[in-house]
Amino acid sequence: MSSDEPETRPRQTIHDSTAPSTDTRDSRIGEGVDDRFNSKLREAFGASPFILTKFDEFMNWVRGNSMFMLQFGIACCSIEMIHTYAIKHDVDRYGAGVPRASPRQADVMIVPGTIVSKFGPRMKRVYDQMPEPKFVVGMGSCTISGGPFQEGYNVVKGAEEIIPIDIHVPGCPPRPEALIYGILKLQERIQNGESSPVVVKPYELEQFGDLPEDELVQKLADEIDEDDLVMRYNWADSP
Amino acid sequence: MSTGIEQTPADGETLTEDELEALIGDRAIARDDHMNAPGFVVNPDEVQSVLSDLKERAGYDHLSSVTAQEYEDRYESIYHLKKYADASDEVSVVVPTASDDPVSESAEPVFRTADWHEREAYDLVGIEYADHPDLRRILLPETWQGHPLSKGYDQEKPQVVTLSEHANPLESDHRESGGESDTMFLNIGPHHPATHGVLHVETVLDGETVVDVEPDIGYLHRCEEQMCQQGTYRHQIMPYPDRWDYVSSGLLNEWSYARAIEDLADIEVPEYAQVIRTMGAELCRIASHMLALGTFALDVYGEFTAIFQYTFRDREVVQDILEDLTGQRMMFNYFRVGGVAWDLPEPREEFFEKTRDFLDELPAKVAEYNDMVTSNEIFQTRCIDTGVLEPEVAKDYGCTGPVARGSGVDYDLRRDDPYGYYENLDWDVVTRDGCDNYARVLTRMEEVEESAKIIQQCLDLLEDWPEDDREVQANVPRTLKPDADAETYRAVEAAKGELGIYIRSDGTDKPGRFKIRSPCFSNLQALGEMAEGEYIPDLVASLGSLDIVLGEVDR
C-alpha cells in the first residue's frame, strides 16, 4: 500500500488484495442463515468487514466527528453561539451538539467575546482544565485583536495573548453561518491531524524572575502564593 | 394607565424649585443646573443630610445614578435623583471635592444603591467615600494600579492580575466552625452555566441555605465609557450602545444615547422616524424577553430541549425582521443622531406582511409558553414565593424595569417620562404584586404582549404614512459641538429597566464625560436581599429572574 499515489485509497487496496480470500471464505460458510452481514457498509467496504488505516488517522476522524463543545459564554458573541446551537442553525448536525458545562468533558472551546484583564486568568484556568487534545475557536473580532474595544485600558488585545487558537472567525458578532463554517474548518483540520502547537505564555510566577523588578512586581511578590495563576499584562507591548 | 393621560402629580409632595432651594438652604453653596434637572452644589460633608432631606421631605426616593468625574481643579460626584412616582421630576446633587484629597461623604446610609455606584466611582475615577461600608474596587481586579478614568492615568503601565480566589473551597481554612453552624464558602462562576455570562458569585452556605451572597463583577468590563469618550458625537458613539445589553436590545440601548445627545444638542426628531424607532425598540424588547424566559426555564428546570429552543425559534423570527429593517442580526447601529439610518426595507408590503405574520402568531405562542412554563407545577414550586423582593427594598436598591414592576413598583419611563411615539399609542404598563420570581417572569411575558400591541399600532401608522412625508432624519450638522459645560442625564426604558446616559460636553466634538447608568448594575445589587436565607437552588432562580446581562453590568 503506497501512500504516494493519491488515487490509491486504503479501501481500494484492501478490496483488491482480499478478493481471493473472500472467495474461499464464502465457499466455506455458504449463504448463511440471514443476510445481516450484507449491509450497505459491507457493500461499500467490499467483502471484507475490515478496514485498514493508521490508528492516528482513525482517531483524528473520530475526534473531528464528535467534538464536545464547552459551554462558555463571555459576551455578545455567546448569544450568536447559542443561536448556532439552537433551532434553525443546529450545529448538532455536524456532531458538535449539546454544549458540555464542564471543561473536563470538553474538547473544543469557543471563545465568544472580549477578554478583559480580570477574566484572562480564569480563561487560562478553564483552558488548562480541558483534557488533551484540545482545540479553540476564537469567535469574533474581540478574540482576534480586542475588536471595537482594542483601545480600552482593560481589554486584552486578542485571546491569543493567553491561549493558543486554532480557528479565528471574524465578525462582530459573526453570524451563526460563519461560526458553523469555522467549526467545519476546525473539523477539517482535526481530521487532517493539524492543530496549533500548545504554547505556554510567559505569565507563570517563575517567569517573574526575568522581569525587571519594578514597583508593582515588588509589591505583589510577597503576597503571591506559588500555586496562584498570575498574569502580567504588558499593555505597552500589546499590538 | 394609558399613556395618553397626563401624569398625575405625586401625593402632595411635589416641591417647586424655590421650595427645594429653601429645603436645602445654606447647605447649597452654589447652583449647577443640568439640562434635565436643577442642580445644587453641596459640601462633601453634608451629602447624607441633604440626600435624606430630599428623600424624606421632598419625595426623591430614586437614586438613579452616581456620576464621578475629574476636572482640572477638582473631583466631582453627581447624585441623580428621581421619584418613583414621577420620573420626570429630577434633581441633581453635585459634590465637588479637592484634587489632592478627594474624600466625600458616602450616600450609602440613605440609599442602599449608592454602595456599588460609589465603589465604581472609587474604582474608575478615584474619589474616596467616607463612611462607605465596603470601599474597594468593583470592576477592575483588586491588584490594579491607578484609576483609569482620572486624569493623568497611564494606560501603558503594566498590570498584574492574580487568580488566588479560586482556592479549593473544601480546604480547612474555608470552613468556619462557630457555634452550631458550620458554613462553607462556595464560588459560583465566573464560568458557570447558570450565571448568564461571566458573573462570579461568592456564596457562604450553611448546609443548603445561603447565608451570604456577594456578586463579584468586572469580568466583562470593557471600558465602554472610555470608548464613548473617545468617539465623536455624530457617528462614532452609536455603534457601542449595541454592545452594552447585547441580548438583542440594541435599538433600546441606541435610543438612550440618541435621546441624551438629541437633548444636549437640541435636535428635533421627525415623527416618522420616531414611529420607526418605537417599533424597532419594541421588537428588541420582545427578543430580549424571549431570551430571558428561555434561559430562566433552562436554569429552573434544566429545559434545554423544549422551552429554550422554542424561545430561540421565536427570537430567530424577530431577528429576521430586525435584520430586514437594519441590516444586522444583533449589532444594529440603525439609529442616527436625529433619526434612523434609512427607511423601511422595500418592498414595504413584504416587510409589513412578515411583521404582521409574526404578531398574528404571537398570541398562540404566548399561550403555548403559559401551557408549558408558567402553569407547570415544577416551575411554580421553584418560583412562587422564592426570591422575594419587597417594593420598598426594590426602591432602596434603585431597581427598575420588570424587576421593579414585578414587585409592584409602577415605574416605566415610556409612560412616566415620555419619549418617542409612546404617548400617542394605546398600551398599558404591566405591574404585578407577587414580588417573587414568578411575578417577574409573568411581568416579562405580559410585556411581550404589550409590545406586540405597540408594534401593531406602529405598523398601522407606518402603512398609512403619506409618501411625501417620510422623513427619516433631521437636519443635523456634520460635526456636533454642544456648548461647553452643558450637562444632561437622560434615560429610556430598556428591556431591563432604566438605562440612563449622562453626558458632559467640554465644547469639543467628543464628550468630556460619558456615564452609563445600567439597569442591570442596580438590579443585581438586590440579589443578596432576594437570596439570603433561601436554598441555593433559589439563588440560581433569583439570579435568572433578575435577567442580568454582564455586558451591561460591567460596561
Domain range annotation of chain B: 17-130, 232-471+483-554
Tell me if chain B has a CB within 8 Å of the CB of A78. yes
A93, A166: one domain: yes
Residue A28 confidence (pLDDT): 62
A154 within a domain of the structure (yes/no): yes
C-beta atoms of B222 and A75 within 8 A: yes
B430 three-class SS: coil
**pLDDT surpassing 70 at residue B207:** yes
The larger pLDDT score, comparing residue A208 to residue B104, is at B104
Same domain, A47 and A151: no
Q: Does A178 touch chain B (CB under 8 A)?
A: no
Q: Are residues A79 and A183 in the same domain?
A: yes
Nearest to B386 by CA among B535, B195, B528, B548: B535
Beta-carbon neighbour count of residue A95 at 10 Å? 14
Lowest-confidence segment of B37-51, B178-192, B395-409, B539-553 by average pLDDT: B178-192
Q: Region B229-253: what's the mean pLDDT? A: 88
Tell me which amino acid residue A9 is: R
Type of residue at B448: V
Give the amino acid at A81: M
Asked whether residue A43 is assigned to any structural domain, the reply reads yes
In A30-75, where does DSSP find H-type helix?
40-45, 55-65
Residue-wise pLDDT tens digits, A21-49: 566 666 666 665 555 555 565 566 665 55
- B153-192 pLDDT per residue, tens: 888 887 888 776 555 545 555 455 554 557 778 888 788 7
- Partner A contacted by B306 (CB < 8 A): no
Q: How many CB pairs under 8 A join A and B?
A: 162
Asked whether residue A73 falls in the same domain as residue A180, the answer is: yes
Parent domain of A211: 205-237
Tell if the CB–CB gap between A119 and B198 is shorter than 8 Å: yes
Strand partners, B212: B204
B155–A235: do the CB atoms touch at under 8 Å? yes
Q: Determine what percent of chain B is predicted with pLDDT higher than 90.
A: 30
Instruction: Work out the angle between the directed axes of helices B348-369 and B437-464 (0-180°, nearest 10).
Output: 160
**In 3-state terms, what secondary structure has residue A106?**
coil
If you count DSSP H runs as helices and E runs as strands, how many of each does chain A have, helices first?
8, 5
Contact A79 B246 (CB under 8 A): yes
**CA–CA min distance A63, chain B (Å):** 24
Residues A73-95 have a mean pLDDT of: 86
Do residue A26 and residue A122 come from a single domain? no
User: How much helix, strand and coil, in percent to the nearest 5, is found in chain A?
Assistant: 45, 10, 45
Average pLDDT, chain B: 86
Whether residue A153 and residue B223 make contact (CB cut-off 8 A), yes or no, is: yes
Is A199 inside any structural domain? Answer: no
Of residues A200 and A221, more confidence is placed in: A221
A238: confidence class by pLDDT, cuts 50, 70, 90: low
pLDDT at B542 over 70: yes
Q: Is the peptide bond between A197 and the residue preceding it cis, with omega within 30 degrees of 0? A: no
Cα dihedral B401, B406, B410, B415, rounded to 10, equals 40
Query: Which pLDDT score is estimated for A202?
Result: 39
Query: What CATH number did the domain enclosing A157 receive?
Result: 3.40.50.12280
User: What's the one-letter identity of residue B183?
Assistant: T
- Same domain, yes or no: A41 and A97: no
Same domain, A31 and A89: no
Q: Which residue of B has its CA nearest to A101?
A: B193
Residues A129 and A74 both lie in one domain: yes
Q: How many structural domains comprise chain A?
A: 3
Q: pLDDT, tens digit, for every residue of B25-38?
A: 888 888 888 888 88
Instruction: pLDDT band for A208, please (50, 70, 90 cuts).
Output: very low
Comparing CB atoms, the residue among A73, A121, A155 nearest residue B163 is A121
The fold adopted by the segment(s) B232-471+483-554 is Cytochrome-c3 Hydrogenase; chain B (1.10.645)
Check residue B327 and report its DSSP letter.
Answer: S
Cβ atoms within 10 Å, residue B112: 21
Which residues of chain B lie closer than 8 angstroms to A71, CB-CB? Answer: 193
- Interface check for A226 against chain B (CB to CB < 8 A): the answer is no
Alpha-carbon span B274 to B269, nearest angstrom: 7
Residue A9 at interface with chain B, using a CB cutoff of 8 Å: no
Q: Do B160 and A151 touch (CB under 8 A)?
A: no
Any chain A CB within 8 A of the CB of B240?
yes
Task: Give A27 to chain B, closest Cα distance, Å.
Answer: 52
Instruction: Work out the average pLDDT over A82-88.
Output: 86
Q: To the nearest whole angstrom, how far is the Cα of A11 from the nearest Cα of chain B?
A: 40
Instruction: Identify whether the C-beta of residue B415 lies closer than 8 Å to the C-beta of residue B1.
Output: yes
Q: What is the ipTM of this complex?
A: 0.85
Mean pLDDT value of segment B202-217: 86
Is B331–A173 a contact, with Cβ atoms under 8 angstroms apart? yes
- Of residues B325 and B190, more confidently modeled: B325
pLDDT at A32 (0 to 100) = 59
CB contact under 8 A, A154 and B221: yes
pLDDT at B191: 80
Residues 20-79 of B with CB under 8 A from A: none
Answer yes or no: do A88 and A115 share one domain.
Answer: yes
pLDDT of residue B481: 87
Closest CA–CA distance from residue A86 to any residue of chain B (Å) = 6
Residue B196 C-alpha cell reads as 448568564
d(CA B55, CA B33): 19
Q: Which of A118, A161, A208 to mutate to test the interface with B (most CBs of B within 10 A)?
A: A118
Architecture of domain B17-130 in this structure: 2-Layer Sandwich (3.30)
For strands A69-70 and A108-112, give the pairing. Answer: parallel
Same domain (yes/no): A14, A81: no
Q: Which of A233, A6, A209 is nearest to B144 (CA)?
A: A233
Sign (positive/negative) of CA torsion B148, B153, B157, B159?
Answer: negative
| Paired strand residues for A52 | none
What mean pLDDT comes out for the span A206-234? 58
Of A75, A142, A73, the residue nearest A110 (C-alpha): A73
Task: Express each pLDDT in B272-324 by its tens digit.
Answer: 999 999 999 999 999 999 988 888 888 887 767 778 888 888 899 999 999 99
Q: Quick one: pLDDT band at residue B447, thresholds 50, 70, 90? A: very high
Which residue among B139, B166, B308 places its CB closest to the CB of A125?
B166
3-class SS string, B226-266: HHHHHCCCCCCCCCCHHHCCCCCCHHHHHHHHHHHHHHHCC
- pLDDT tens for residues A139-171? 999 999 888 998 888 898 888 888 888 889 998
In a domain, A185, yes or no: yes
A contacts of B145 (beta carbons < 8 Å): 216
pLDDT at res. A181: 92
pLDDT digits (tens, 9 = 90+) for B512-532: 999 999 999 999 999 988 888
| Dihedral sign (CA B478, B484, B486, B487) | positive
In chain B, residues with a C-beta closer than 8 Å to the C-beta of A154 are 139-140, 148, 221-223
| Nearest residue, CB atoms, B312 vs list A87, A151, A235 | A87
Q: Which three cell numbers stand for residue A9?
A: 485509497
Residue A200, pLDDT above cutoff 50? no
Containing B330, the helix (H) or strand (E) segment is none
List the one residue out of B289, B306, B311 whose CA is nearest residue B365: B311
> Which residues contact residue B524 at a Cβ distance below 8 angstroms, ignoring those fewer than 6 apart?
B199, B215, B217, B546, B548, B553
Q: B297: closest CA among B443, B437, B449?
A: B437
Label residue A221 by pLDDT band (50, 70, 90): low
Are A94 and A29 in a shared domain? no
Please give the full DSSP string across A115-177, using - where no structure is assigned.
-BTTTHHHHHHHHHHSPSS-EEEEESHHHHH-GGGTT-TTB-S-GGGTS--SEEE-SSSPPHH
**Do A156 and A83 share a domain, yes or no?**
yes
Interface list for A 83-142 with B (CB within 8 A): 83, 86-88, 98, 101, 103, 113-114, 116-123, 125-126, 142
